[in-house]
Amino acid sequence: MNTIDFKPGDLVRIKVKSQSYEGLVMPRTQYEGPEHITIKLKNGYNIGLSLNRILESSVIKRGDEAKGSEATVIPSEGGQVHGDILLLSTGGTIASRVDYRTGAVKPAFSSKELAALIPELGSIASFSIRSLMSVLSENIRPSDWTMIAKAVQEAFLAGFRGVVIAHGTDTMHYTAAALSFALENPPGPVVLVGSQRSSDRPSSDAATNLIGAFKFASSSRSRGVFIAMHSGLSDDSIAIHLGVRVRKNHTSRRNAFHSVNRRPVAYIKGLTLNENTVIGGKGEFIVRPNFDDRAALVKFFPGMKGSYFKFLVDEGIKAIIIEGGGLGHVSEDLIQPITEGIKKGVFFGMTSQCIWGSVNLNVYETGRDLLSAGVVPLGDMLSEVALAKSMWVLGNGLNATGQMPLDLRGEVTGRRWLSVEQD
């Protein structure tokens, strides 16, 4: 009964218990295992069915064959401007398109296809597309950050007003932080954008996120690196997050990205931009695109062994970002191996696994012992941002102990000398 001989795009009829369903077979989405099939019903809903519960099935009409990729790549050639905005494609869900009739995955759009699919884009700004790489974001490496930073530099040198970067969402916040440090005072906005749901789904956020990114990149006076994603406030509201203050906090929701320890920089509702603040000054555009991946992010947990730190130091790791508990603590038996690493010249920076709030090593004994050992508290800097920053500091020959705690791009809140507590 379960001889599954239908392909994505086929129109099928399936009987489960007393219910019968008719619809198009969809390619697998992120919500099913191989033991499931998804059918798009005539009313627009998708329904997931367990294969071993199917009592009867028949193919009403076979779908079209896959047609393959039609990606168009327009390299940004020196001095040759093809519009206001350059869309740099790096890969991920947003840069691919699942054709639900055929099941074909197209690796990238051409600007013509994109303008046809999302007519609003053309009305916002003229644009070109450069397909820089096609990488799932879990495979993005620090060397890719360098390549993206250089491509953004080229785009601004070529005269584009802003750059939109299509990126997988898993590590988009790491890349946003890395680019924030690599690109000091960019001439215009650099906006990373992803999508949590592919464009075959009625709930896809690809179009609205791209519209938000284009709107911000083409009309904001802010200079810096940002992430544009669904805000969750309403269905067509996009939040613009500062690239060093944002995190992916949900595996699948459209509003997965949240600004942490500060408000979003702006919102875009429909085609209207509401800016809370303008980011960036009049400084010179400086690009330091190098990253040294001899850094590690280590999350503390009860029962953790001190040998982990010894191993990392022996491996040649030069900077270790710890995600401590609460205000930035680790168990007392870890202080000795950390101290030995610091004596060997390794930088140890402290962040918190709480995500929100700031570390403070002055309160409890453990914190003061960590301070004495030379661990550097990183305030309210996100651990992921601290990791990218440490790789950038190492890659550009800067002094980690001096640079890491400083607020270079808005990544950490400076201490105020006088505060009245709101008790």
Q: Give the dihedral of Cα atoms 302, 358, 308, 316; nearest 10 deg.
A: 180
Count the residues in the chain.
Answer: 423
Check if 413 is active-site.
no
Q: Which is nearer to a second copy, 344 or 415 (CB)?
A: 415
169 part of the active site: yes
Tell me how far, at minimum, the Cβ of 109 lies from a second copy, in Å: 20
222 in helix, strand or coil? coil
Beta bridge partners of 242: 226
The kind and range of the H/E element at 143 are: helix 142-157
Report whether 82 contacts 76 (CB < 8 A). yes
**Comparison of 158 and 355: residue with beta carbon closer to a second copy:** 355
72 vs 360, beta carbon nearer a second copy: 360
Q: Which two tokens stand for residue 209?
A: 């996120």
CB of 138 to a second copy, least distance (A): 4
Closer residue to a second copy in complex, CB, 268/298: 298
Q: 215 with 120: CB under 8 angstroms?
A: no
> 318 catalytic, yes or no?
no
| Phi, psi angle pair for 372, to nearest 5° | -60, -35
- From 197, 202, 205, 196, select the one nearest 40 (Cα to Cα): 202
CB of 160 to a second copy, least distance (A): 26
- Catalytic hit among 7, 15, 150, 170: 170
Between the CA of residue 53 and those of 7, 9, 25, 410, what are the distances in Å? 18, 21, 16, 54
List the beta bridge partners of residue 23: 12, 41
- Tokens 């197209």, residue located: 106
Choose the catalytic residue: 106, 248, 318, 389: 248
Q: Out of 146, 169, 171, 366, which one is annotated catalytic? A: 169
Residue number with CB closer to a second copy (142 or 289):
142
Q: How far is the CB of 358 from a second copy (least distance, A)?
A: 6
Active site residue 150: no
Shortest CB 266 distance to a second copy, Å: 24
Enumerate the β-bridge partners of residue 298: 322
Active-site residue list: 93, 169-170, 248
